Structure formats: C-alpha cells, structure tokens
Amino acid sequence: MNYFLNKYSLLVFLLLVTPLALAQTKVGFYSKSCPRAESIVQSTVKKHVKSDSTVAPGLLRMVFHDCFVHGCDASILINGSNAERTARPNLLLRGYEVIDDAKTQLEATCPGVVSCADILALAARDATVEVGALTYRVPTGRRDGRVSLASDTSNLPSFTDSVTVQKKKFADVGLSAQDLVTLVGGHTIGTVACQFVSYRLYNFKNTSGADPTINPKFLPTLQSLCPQNGDGNKRIPLDYGSGDNFDRSFFKNVQNNRGILESDQSLWQDSTTKNYAQRFIGIRGLAGLTLNVEFGKAMIKMTNVGVKTGTTGEIRKICSKIN
C-alpha cells in the first residue's frame, strides 16, 4: 500500500495504489546503502524550486521525456552532439542543474551508489510536491543507461498529436488512456513558448484562421499573449489562470475549450479521454477521480517503464557522462 501525504498535513491517505515493488525496483532501496539519499534529493529540489519556480514543471517534463526513450534510465541527461537532449523536442528542457547538484552531494556522501535515473524520478516527485501536489512513495533501484541518441526520440508525444496518436504512443510504453489523461494533467503547472501555439491562432492548417476548437471568447486573450509575428520564445501558462498551482483547473480549461496546446484540447474530442477528464473535474453522475492521487499512481507506473536494474546499466559518476 502506498501513502499520499499532503505537504501541509500529516494526514495519511490509506489508498490501495500500486505494489511497492515494480520491475525490480522497491521503496526504500537505499535505506541501508545510502540512508540520506531521498532527503538529499528533496532538500536540493526544494532549494532550487524556491529560487526558481519554473524548475518544477521543468523536472516533470524531463522525466517524462526520459521515460519515453529507452525507458527511465536517465539517458536524457547525457551530453553529446547527437544525444537525446539535442533533439528538437528536448531543446527547451530545463532542470539539469538540479540533478547535477543532487548527484554531486550524493557522490560526496555515498560514492557510486545512487543512480541518476533514481535522482530524476525522485526529483520529479519532490518538485511537484513543492507546487502543491501530494507526495507519493517512489520505488527506487534503477540503473543508468549507456545509450542516448537524438534519433531515438521519435516516439515522444508531440503538441500536434491527435488523441489516437497519443494513445498509441502511451500504449507502446505500457500506459493506459487513463494514464495519458492523468499525466497530461501535469500541464496544470508550467509554461509553453508561443512558437508552439501561434499556428493555432492565425493560420490553423492553412485556413488563414484560428483553430475552431478554441473558445472564440478566449481567442483574443491568446492572441494578445502571442501576437502574430511576435516573439516565438515568449512563454505563456499551459493552465491559463492557474499555471503555478497543481490543481484540476487544467481540465476545466479543456472543458471550456481553453486548452493551450492542440494535443491538450484534443482530449475533449475523444469519448474515452473526455470521460476521464470529466471525472477529474467532478461532473455529476460520473465516478470522480482526484488528480493528486491518480497523478502519483500514474507517475509510479510511468517511472517504471523499461527500467534497468540489477547488473544492467551502470551507476554514473557524473549524470551527463557515461562512465
């Protein structure tokens, strides 16, 4: 049984979630070999998020992009001219300095013990907690991969993907439609550059007009945030009106055709994903889902995709470099 704890309370949520041991990882893997491992990562993340709140969604996106390529093996962290982090979908990832900071401290405390893959999984959890999510117990014991190629990033979900394509990409790594909706709900925090939104506002599919799924009352607001021929690097909230808080407002925005990304708004166009989104909102007549609780379950499941354990992989001394 897993326990979800609000950072503001000692209230224990006694909920049946997922087994504590997944794919040979387990909760408390470092309890004897490096007892302070999780607390070091937590304090490091807390320090960085306090200094720069954008670190939280950055780390969440980073672990997501890592797990969809070769599994959760920290291959996203490796430097190199043709490494994953050089691929177009990964160019704007941020938070590498947080992982490096935590790794430096862990190497000083427990040399060669804690993997970069585990640091990333723990950091993503701790980062969301800092912006209001419930905590959850992260099974650890991952080892680091030795391969990182930009050419292997084609399966990463894209902001232009239809629901059908998104479902396929998630299914390919063992994640369900509910996992898809839950994890996309992580867009309740963070921002996106206008270059990934503007095409919906001015010339959607070469129509010289806006994406018809955008609420016409919301369109002027989006156009003012991302002016035509404006700065494509300007960033706007993914969850308009509540971009700094981990809450269910993201799904309410999608319900009201105020989703920022095309892929986000498309969740409302498919009966299966719409049903899960409605359950997160709490629409009468449907069995409700709590984003905070379901998010933890989905993250545990995702961060155990294709993990390397035992004698597979390695424990990198420096996260950005293969031993």
Domains of the chain: 21-156 (1.10.520.10), 163-297 (1.10.420.10)
Nearest to 131 by CA among 83, 184, 199, 59: 59
pLDDT at 284: 78
Which 3-state string (H, E, C) describes 278-319?
HHHHCCCCCCCCCHHHHHHHHHHHHCCCCCECCCCCECCCEC
**DSSP per position, 117-178:** HHHHHHHHHHHHHHTTPPB-PPPB--BB-S---GGG-TTS--TT--HHHHHHHHHHTT--HH
Q: Give the model confidence (pLDDT) of 100-147 as tens digits.
A: 999 999 999 999 999 999 999 999 999 999 999 999 999 999 999 999
Q: CA distances (Å), 37 to each of 43, 76, 118, in order?
A: 10, 21, 10
pLDDT at 286: 80
pLDDT at 243: 84
Q: Give the model confidence (pLDDT) of 148-172 as tens digits.
A: 999 999 989 999 999 999 999 999 9
Query: Is residue 253 classed as helix, strand or coil in its secondary structure?
Result: helix
Q: Look at the block and give the residue holding tokens 């640091």.
A: 119
Amino acid 297 reads: K
* Catalytic residue flag (residue 70): no
H helix or E strand, kind and range, residue 25: strand 25-26
Is 60 exceeded by the pLDDT of residue 257?
Answer: yes
pLDDT at 15: 33
- As a whole number of angstroms, the distance between CA 308 and CA 140 comes to 11
- The average pLDDT across 269-296 equals 92
CA atoms within 13 Å, Cβ hemisphere of 54: 11
**Tokens (6 digits) for 14:** 């006694």
Dihedral of CA 156/159/161/163: which sign?
positive
> Catalytic residue among 48, 65, 70, 187, which?
65
Is 80 exceeded by the pLDDT of residue 7?
Answer: no
Query: Is residue 237 classed as helix, strand or coil in its secondary structure?
Result: strand
Determine the Cα angle at 284 with ends 282 and 290, to 5°: 20
Do β-strands 191-193 and 25-26 pair in parallel, antiparallel, or remain unpaired? unpaired
